[in-house]
Amino acid sequence: MESLRGSITDPALEPQFSRPPSMSQATHPRLQFGNKRNRLIIESLLLVAAVVFVAIWFSTPYFARDYINRSLSDLPDYTGRVEWVRIHPWTASVDVYDVHLDKKTGEIPVHFFYSPRSNISLQWSQLFHGGKRASVTVFDPQINLVAGPNPEQSQLSINKVWIDTIKQMIPWRVNQIRIYRGDIHFHDFHTSPQVDLELSQLEGAAENMSNSKGLKIPLPSTIKISGRPLLTGTFEMNLDVNFDEPFATFTQNFRVEHVPAAGANYIMQKSLKARIKSGEIGLYGELTSDKGIYHGYVKRSFYHLEFEPKSSDEGNPGAIWSGILNVAKGLFENDQHVIDTRREISGRMDQPDVDVVSAFVSILWNASTEALHPGSGTTSSSLSTPHK
């Protein structure tokens, strides 16, 4: 028994069990990542991919900027330039810096348009409505409208080709536009003194421009604009529009209040040969355009208006004219020293595909400047058709 126990406990007589090979040992040597050759190949591929990614990342903004500048420089009347582009692929957005448009004649000392920064981004919320739509945000834009003795020294509008080209450079259809802290200036550098009328603190919002929501209503898009004319005034405008109609189709209302009447001296001196000393101006209007046929009205109100002689008339018989105007205006004032008149406007735009905003601004500008002439009562006028 002793010998039997000893034989069993003898290590030499114990059964031998082999361990299963480890995973690394079971893998073929050529497939092992620890293999020096394979590790070198993988590291080289990663390095090449990183170099390519960095090259694309840093070069794409230059290519994008140069592409935009080439597109903007080949268009009529104006030339444009972008100083820098920053691309954010993870948010599908682009920042464009220092955009400016200038008259090609080079005879105007101010940009037609300038913005230090604009953003174009994919409107993610509209993906659920079945389409890719863009949201455009413009920060601190400045627009300079210039009146001059000839077209080369004036910049009051821009060719529709520009708008179409800018749309083509945006990969998605624009559905939303936001404007923050804008300024619009009206200049005349050829008068003495020179004219600079300002609409400051401009805020704008255009929504559902491509009708991505699929609204079954005649005017599915909305535009709201507000600002401060001549620093102390207030301006508000609401516009409902259908951008898909071949002819301009919209309805609009606006109001301008508490504007210093002296700001209208640019117009008054041409029409009445006199200057406004004090008072305020208010403008109110509504305008509707149905497939190119428009009608509406502009109402103007002059509050506590007082005239004074032009500087060239002081000390001569021409100064009597301002006194006559001060007496004559009293015949039209009510008990609150307010003159209210209203001008009916109507007409048609026979050209299809006229840009809605350009058509609207042209009509409103003509009607408003005509309405500022004192002595024009309730009339009907057919305004000139805006050209493409």
Classify the C-alpha dihedral 29-34-40-41 as positive or negative.
positive
Residues 383 and 346: their CA atoms lie apart, in Å, by 7
The two tokens of residue 168 are: 């083509």
Lowest mean pLDDT among 49-58, 110-119, 287-296: 49-58
Residues 208, 147 share a domain: yes
> Does residue 388 register a pLDDT over 60?
no
Q: For residue 356, what pLDDT band results from cuts at 50, 70 and 90?
A: low
The two tokens of residue 77 are: 């009347």
Residues 286, 317 share a domain: yes
Query: How many CA atoms, within 13 angstroms, populate the side-chain half-sphere of residue 286?
Result: 1
Q: For residue 380, what pLDDT band results from cuts at 50, 70 and 90?
A: very low
> Does residue 81 register a pLDDT over 80?
yes
Residues 378 and 298: their CA atoms lie apart, in Å, by 10
2 belongs to a structural domain? no
The two tokens of residue 92 are: 């599908």
Contact 259, 232 (CB under 8 A): yes
Residues 156, 70 share a domain: yes
Boundary (domain end) residue, out of 212, 245, 272? 212
> Does residue 358 register a pLDDT over 70?
no
Q: How far is CA 279 from the centre of its chain?
A: 33
Residues 335, 227 share a domain: yes
What per-residue confidence (pLDDT) applies to 32?
52
DSSP string, 156-167: S---HHHHHHHH
Contact 268, 320 (CB under 8 A): no
DSSP state of 262: G
Span 216-249, pLDDT tens digits: 888 899 999 999 998 889 999 999 998 888 777 8
Boundary (domain end) residue, out of 189, 212, 235? 212
20 belongs to a structural domain? no
64 belongs to a structural domain? yes
What per-residue confidence (pLDDT) applies to 117?
95
Q: For the chain, how many structural domains are there in total? A: 2
DSSP state of 298: E
40 belongs to a structural domain? yes
Q: For residue 348, what pLDDT band results from cuts at 50, 70 and 90?
A: confident
| Rounded average pLDDT over 25-32 | 51
Residues 138, 275 share a domain: no
Residues 39, 59 share a domain: yes
The pTM score is 0.74
> Does residue 97 register a pLDDT over 90?
yes
Higher pLDDT, 372 or 67: 67
> Does residue 104 register a pLDDT over 70?
yes
Q: For residue 384, what pLDDT band results from cuts at 50, 70 and 90?
A: very low
Residues 105 and 299: their CA atoms lie apart, in Å, by 38
Boundary (domain end) residue, out of 158, 186, 212? 212
164 belongs to a structural domain? yes
Domain extent, residue 358, equals 217-388
Residues 358, 336 share a domain: yes
Higher pLDDT, 309 or 10: 309
Residues 361, 270 share a domain: yes
Residues 153, 129 share a domain: yes
% the chain with pLDDT above 70 = 75
What per-residue confidence (pLDDT) applies to 386?
35
What per-residue confidence (pLDDT) applies to 16?
56
